[in-house]
Structure 1
């Protein structure tokens, strides 16, 4: 990766890549809410189809790397896949049960949980990092508290979104270990495949319908695969070669207002006014966590993870 300051001017292709990536990941929650399919089925199909799309590359140019992968790296890939399944199994239902804006903001607390994982591993966040964690937690409490007066379903959606953010942090921590020796493509293929198999078993055990959807639902699922699952990741990974991880991490937070705007335009879903102050505080806290981690040279986010 080229070492660049966040303050350096970005080349036009990099700016274009970042715009496409943010739009791609912002479409995720609205598409999930739009699709007339069970949440777990949506999570299964987006991972299964993404794994299928990556198969020609992994079993083609990347085949020698896959064959030579060490047991430890493969184990971390499988564990990351389990964590990713937990992420999708909690966050995807939260979008269908509650507000797109709130669910997207609460799952964006991933860097906060990543910072706490780092602290548990002996890599303590800086003072600024702890301040950001406090702000984000306060914002999450305020936003969830605002939903208490709406319905029990809205509160459940908030809890699921928070659990989704925690699972994403575990996924990132495990993926960091796997990607120390594996390329992103090989790691992603194993991880997505594992996630899809786990979600398939859950769907089969739970009697979740995996087919019989209308054309617009299949179109939404395919858009999820091409957009958030593949294109969003690819564009962020491209941008990381031309700008700092801090810039990319902060820009990923634009997914929250982007998702809210798309939900308003597509679904007529307005963010609840009472939750807005809490969501703003939450996002401010997450941004402080990211900047604090960068200042301390202890990365706490995986910029390639976008929902």
Structure 2
């Protein structure tokens, strides 16, 4: 089969049922950033609770149902899944605070640069990237610079949020790369149970060390924490895994990029938080670059991200 045929096959539309599930998943992840921005609780505490609740909702059952698999896992499998959980905690520890500091649109777009950093990690590991991937990275970097320049004119706080969001993208790439290695040795169920549990424990330690209150929030804040857990952790990424049965990881990765304009639209309509006009060219350029990178990644069989 030629490359052109492979490329077109990778973008085949899913069946109607899975297309509906994909739409629900996209709505879920798009609502993640706006919900966290609206939650009156410390950012690190939000990161902890959404992961702790997500892991706890399925972890106990999975630990029993897959007891034999857990018992058979070697040290390497446990170590890689645990390391992925640490990187995931670092991602959330950087990205969730960024949503509180800069616009949801900028934070979501800059967090999505994990696709660029994943490619760079692959290149550093000796994998040869297609030229089109480097072009996409260049476009994404140019878009990032334009966003940062626009937010610099807004406030130092917004610029700090941009930096945290970008750092979140770096840690997300490390998580995806480490997780891809771990998943070769275990089922997705076992992997996510270990990874999310370790992520929640690390974030708990950070919250305690930083003396972030983990309770005492208003009823509305707790409802929003439950909502972001349901939207992003359960509806979002669980359904992404379901539709992978009928479509390629590349198609799902491209679909997830809809989260960027989706989150911006929800934040604008709900929170009245529209990105500054000066940032829009950067957002468009960054998104275009990410589309190019993800399409090029199809040739490398890179894993689909499993994040926000």
Q: What are the superposed Cα offsets for residues 192-218 of structure 1, whole Å, 9 maximum, x if unpaired?
A: 111111111111111101010011111
Determine the C-alpha separation between the residues in 2 that align with 1:283 and 1:299: 21
Alignment of 1:219-238 (within 5 A): 219-238=223-242
Alignment of 1:272-291 (within 5 A): 272-291=276-295
Task: Report the equivalent of 1:55.
Answer: 59
1:112 aligns with 2:121: no
Deviation at 1:226, TM superposition (A): 1.3
Deviating beyond 6 angstroms after TM superposition, the runs of 4 or more aligned structure 1 residues are none
Q: Compute the RMSD of aligned alpha carbons.
A: 1.3
Determine the C-alpha separation between the residues in 1 that align with 2:14 and 2:47: 34
TM-score (norm: length of structure 1): 0.96
Distance 1:203 1:8, change over 3 A: closer
Task: Report the equivalent of 1:36.
Answer: 40
Task: Report the equivalent of 2:258.
Answer: 254
Determine the C-alpha separation between the residues in 1 that align with 2:219 and 2:77: 39
Determine the C-alpha separation between the residues in 1 that align with 2:234 and 2:304: 15
1:161 aligns with 2:165: yes
Determine the C-alpha separation between the residues in 1 that align with 2:210 and 2:77: 31
Determine the C-alpha separation between the residues in 2 that align with 1:277 and 1:63: 51
Q: Is the 8 A contact 2:252 2:304 kept in 1?
A: no
1:189 aligns with 2:193: yes
Deviation at 1:301, TM superposition (A): 4.5
Determine the C-alpha separation between the residues in 2 that align with 1:306 and 1:129: 22
1:306 aligns with 2:281: no
Determine the C-alpha separation between the residues in 2 that align with 1:71 and 1:151: 47
Alignment of 1:118-267 (within 5 A): 118-267=122-271
Determine the C-alpha separation between the residues in 1 that align with 2:252 and 2:304: 10
Q: Is the 8 A contact 1:101 1:271 kept in 2?
A: yes
Q: Is the 8 A contact 1:93 1:160 kept in 2?
A: yes
**Structure 2: any 5+ residue segments left out of the alignment?**
1-5
Determine the C-alpha separation between the residues in 2 that align with 1:138 and 1:178: 33
SS at match of 1:242: coil
TM-score (norm: length of structure 2): 0.95
Determine the C-alpha separation between the residues in 1 that align with 2:173 and 2:93: 14
User: What is the total number of aligned residue pairs between the two structures?
Assistant: 302
